[in-house]
Structure 1
Amino acid sequence: MEKKFTAFISYNSRDDKWAKWLQKRLENYSLPTVIANDEGKVLKSYDKKPEKFKIFRYISDLVAKTLTEGLSEELERSQHLIVICSPNSAKSKWCGKEMQYFIDHGMKDKIIPFIVAGTPYSNDENECFNPVLKAAFGEGELLGVNVHDEGDDLKIFRKRKAVAKVVSLLIGLPDAYGFIWNRYQHRLYNLWIFRILAALAVVAAIALTWWMNRDFNCNVQAKELTVENTNLPPMKDAVIT
């Protein structure tokens, strides 16, 4: 069967927010035509701009089928399985079945654990790896992508670094992670600079409008506050004593 999706996201409904967030980030990511490693060595190039990732998330994409039928078919049509790892998915039998499907079909190396909460191999209530995943890879063998451990940067950077790492795994070039992250970071900086400049432009426009109307407002206010007595003679006939 043709692989329609770049990845299938396996998750527990309690982690729906993370699944939606990751799906959006991956589907909006644009791959460059040339991909290199940290030393600048070209790892892969495309003749034309690559298509964007197609990510399957069953709540948003499954229609007109029973859950079991639909998921089996879409799992088969997916190149990778991204598992939203947390104590919730670790206890989920359904998530375990989705992982087992990939394992049984010889695609164990296409499983990407995306850790959002909990601790790997803690073997307690905080465990984030499903038993099926741990059994397939062995104790301590599986690392995964942890959104909380990607460096000492701000939270927003750690999350984006995790996305960049997933992108490098989806294209089968883990050595391109640094290149992908640097490019991603540059785009984020440009976006923030644009937003800041746009905000400053709005503030400047408001300030200019206020300044241009300031004299007019002052004149109107002064006129409104002036008391006019119609019983007094004209100023030219006034007698000064």
Structure 2
Amino acid sequence: MRKTQPVTLRRGRVVRVLTAALIGALAGLVIFELTRIGGRGLYIAAGAVAGVAGILLIQIYHRSARLTEVKVSVPQLSELTFVVNDDESRNVARHLFVETVTRVSTQPLKDDEGVTREALTSLYSLFSITRDTLKSSRPSAPATGGLTVEHLAITMLNQELRPFLSKWHPRLRTFEQARPDATESDWPQNTACRAELRDVQARILGYAMGFARLAGVRHPERSETYRYDAFLSYTWEPDAPLVTAVRDSLHRLARPWYRLRALRVFLDESSLPANSALDPAIEEALAASRYLIVFLSPQAASSRWVTQEIRYWLTHKSVDSLRLVLTGGALVWDDSAGDFDPRRSPALPPILRGAYRHRPLYTDLSWAHEEDQRDLRNDRFRRSIVKLAAPLHDRLPDDLEGEDVRQHRRTRRLTAAAVAALTVLAASTAVAARSRSWT
């Protein structure tokens, strides 16, 4: 199988080259025939070509710009289909996205940072603003086959904000009234409230991404204060070629034609001594990243660099935004202990022992040793990259796969439109030159 795949790829390139040559020859023949037409027929032919090209461009524009049906993953529920078919609905979704994603209530709040009261007040304000926005806006136009932005907003209010606020606001108020001079750290339930608050914050951010999709916001994750979508932590030997291929694939998967990369990924390609301290530039990149992707192997398990990067992440961020990729060795979960089995998991860095409450999912790339196995045209590698990239795009894997197909088709349509426009331009130039030669 490994030997026949390059032959298949070469045949595909030959077919594409021959197809391009045939299209070019036909275009040249058309231009030649147009130059032989004179009088009324000349204007009829030129108008027909221009009309066809114009219709193609209009259809491509409408397919690219129209947003009517969107699938959104609703926290605690499932993937639902929403319909947005008027500007009013888009404006409501855009307003709720901005209000949700910029509030204190959606920002990380560690046990020793921030004020619980401030977070609860922000959630109350978000509840009121969402309700007032829905009340003051015109209802979405009815449509079959999908839900509306009002349904998503009301679900957020009733499933997330109302239960949390009705539980914790009275308890905190009772404590504040009983002990007005005490600090929040003296509140016995402060830790439990903050833990539940972090879960609610993560789910509210999911709703924010849903509002962004309904509003047609491109790359809503860029609205957060992150410079990178992911930081890749790995050992130079032996994983550098595989990690580079993963980075390039993350750049390409579901990439719009007008962007250089689909995701912004930090990859430190320097090879530094094992006894070096964590560089300030590395700490800055870790702080500016949404996710940490750790490539696990026996070499990584003993790497001081990988350990330091994981330690920084667990100290300053959350294990929920840490993704694992197995490149060598093994990972074995012990259900009875609720942790990885250290004796049968040589690829696990010791710092990750006890970090997970439940068995984490990981991407297995330990089989991708050859260059042709580390390409998006390899189905197994592609499925692995889609699985790894889905949370970085805030999408389900099937949704991300469909988006990649749509972007590929859109690029092909735009390329075809550009070729058609150039053909029309070349034909018009040739016709004009022929007309001048007749005169």
- TM-score normalised by L of structure 2: 0.33
Percent identity, please: 21
Alignment partner of 1:163 is 2:385: yes
Q: CA separation in 2, counterparts of 1:133 and 1:114? A: 14
What secondary structure is seen at the aligned counterpart in 2 of 1:7? Answer: strand
From 71, 93, 99, the counterpart of 2:310:
99
What secondary structure is seen at the aligned counterpart in 1 of 2:230? Answer: strand
For residues 71-82 of structure 1, what are the structure 2 equivalents within 5 Å?
71-82=282-293
What secondary structure is seen at the aligned counterpart in 2 of 1:59? Answer: coil
What secondary structure is seen at the aligned counterpart in 1 of 2:305? Answer: helix
1:5 alignment counterpart:
228
Q: Does structure 1 conserve the Cα–Cα contact (< 8 Å) formed by 2:254 and 2:403?
A: no
For residues 120-131 of structure 1, what are the structure 2 equivalents within 5 Å?
120-121=331-332, 123-124=342-343, 127-131=346-350
Q: 1:183 to 1:73 in 2, by over 3 A?
A: closer
**Residue 29 of structure 1: how far off its partner (Å):** 2.0
Amino acid at match of 1:21: A
From 248, 254, 258, the counterpart of 1:24:
248
Deviations 1:59-96 (A, max 9, x none): 17xxxxx9611101110011110111112111212101
Q: 1:7 to 1:110 in 2, by over 3 A?
A: same
Higher-Rg member (1/2):
1
From 324, 336, 358, the counterpart of 1:113:
324
**Residue 101 of structure 1: how far off its partner (Å):** 1.1
Alignment partner of 1:57 is 2:258: no
**Residue 178 of structure 1: how far off its partner (Å):** 2.3
Greater shift, 107-116 or 177-186, is seen at 177-186
| Contiguous gaps of at least 5 residues in structure 2 | 1-223, 271-276, 333-340, 409-439
**Residue 133 of structure 1: how far off its partner (Å):** 2.0
Amino acid at match of 2:384: A
Q: CA separation in 1, counterparts of 2:269 and 2:255? A: 26
Q: CA separation in 2, counterparts of 1:67 and 1:97? A: 7
Q: CA separation in 2, counterparts of 1:183 and 1:172? A: 12
Q: Does structure 2 conserve the Cα–Cα contact (< 8 Å) formed by 1:148 and 1:158?
A: no
Q: CA separation in 2, counterparts of 1:54 and 1:187? A: 18
For residues 155-234 of structure 1, what are the structure 2 equivalents within 5 Å?
156-173=378-395, 176-181=396-401
Q: Does structure 1 conserve the Cα–Cα contact (< 8 Å) formed by 2:251 and 2:261?
A: no
Q: CA separation in 1, counterparts of 2:345 and 2:317? A: 29
Amino acid at match of 2:240: D
Q: CA separation in 2, counterparts of 1:7 and 1:25? A: 13
Q: CA separation in 1, counterparts of 2:245 and 2:261? A: 20
Q: Which runs of 4+ in 1 moved over 6 A?
A: 48-51, 185-188
Greater shift, 72-81 or 110-119, is seen at 110-119
Aligned length: 163
Q: CA separation in 1, counterparts of 2:248 and 2:285? A: 19
2:360 alignment counterpart:
142
Q: Does structure 2 conserve the Cα–Cα contact (< 8 Å) formed by 1:116 and 1:148?
A: yes
1:45 alignment counterpart:
none
Q: Does structure 2 conserve the Cα–Cα contact (< 8 Å) formed by 1:25 and 1:163?
A: yes
What secondary structure is seen at the aligned counterpart in 1 of 2:323? Answer: strand
**Residue 117 of structure 1: how far off its partner (Å):** 1.8
Q: Which has the higher helix share?
A: 2
What secondary structure is seen at the aligned counterpart in 1 of 2:243? Answer: helix
Q: Does structure 2 conserve the Cα–Cα contact (< 8 Å) formed by 1:87 and 1:125?
A: no
